[in-house]
Amino acid sequence: MIYAMICDGVVINTVVLDARNAGAFDGAVPIGDVAAGIGDTYVDGAFWRDGVRLLTPLEAAQDTIAALDAALVELELTNAMMALGM
């Protein structure tokens, strides 16, 4: 599994570790599906880049779906108003 090596809240390196011995490395935090890298920050259990939280691919897809759902509702409302002549 890939781990970020954290020092003072900043990712200073990424390494591959066996989960069984990761605890032997101070500051080792599993990255999981997040595209974190050197220079990113780690705050409150999340990785950040330039003030933006890094998302997993699933979280990014869920955000996209939510935005598309909102746009669809707006489009349907606009079409309904046009159909009513408003």
For 16-50, write each residue's pLDDT tens digit: 999 999 889 999 999 999 999 999 999 999 999 99
Asked if residue 86 has pLDDT above 90, the reply is no
Q: What is the pLDDT of residue 20?
A: 93
Q: Quick one: tokens of 68? A: 């598309």
Strands (DSSP E) contained in the chain are: 2-7, 10-16, 28-30, 41-43, 46-49, 52-53
Q: What is the pLDDT of residue 24?
A: 93
**pTM for this predicted structure:** 0.74
φ/ψ of 12, rounded to 5, equals: -105, -15
The residues spanned by each domain of the chain are: 1-54, 56-86
Q: What is the pLDDT of residue 10?
A: 97
